[in-house]
Amino acid sequence: MTASSSIGTGPGRALIAVYGLFSLAAGARAAVQIAGRFHEAPLAYSLSAFAALVYIVLTVALWRGARRLALAALGIELAGVLIIGTASLLNPAAFPDETVWSTYGKGYLFIPLVLPLVGLYWLLRRRR
């Protein structure tokens, strides 16, 4: 088994499961928000939809052993959590409703902040 195909095995399966769950949770939340209240907070709801897309890409990349794609998506996720998290603290008026990444994922028990770090650790550790 090559290193790239082994990223979705063992503890990597837990990452796939968590990202799959987050894909569903963020996607469903964004869909409901966009369908019913998009005019209230278009930026926040669009960012939640974007987060859901990133989670979907990560789930598929980890499942298929696509290391480069997973690393890129993890970088985007981490940057998104840090940028949106900081922006939501510095300018709360710009975020009248929470996104998945607002206040560093507070609405999701800060898992969005920790998850990309765990994913990066897993992928970089499995490189050998």
Given a cut of 50, the residues of the chain with pLDDT beneath it are: 1-4
CA nearest to 126, candidates 66, 43, 56 = 66
Residue 88, Cβ neighbours under 10 Å: how many? 20
pLDDT, averaged across the chain: 90
> What whole-number distance in Å separates Cα of residue 51 and Cα of residue 30?
9
pTM for the whole thing? 0.89
SS3 12: helix
Residue 32 pLDDT = 95
Task: Write the CB contacts of 96 (distance below 8 Å, at least 6 apart in sequence).
Answer: 40, 41, 44
Contact 45, 37 (CB under 8 A): yes
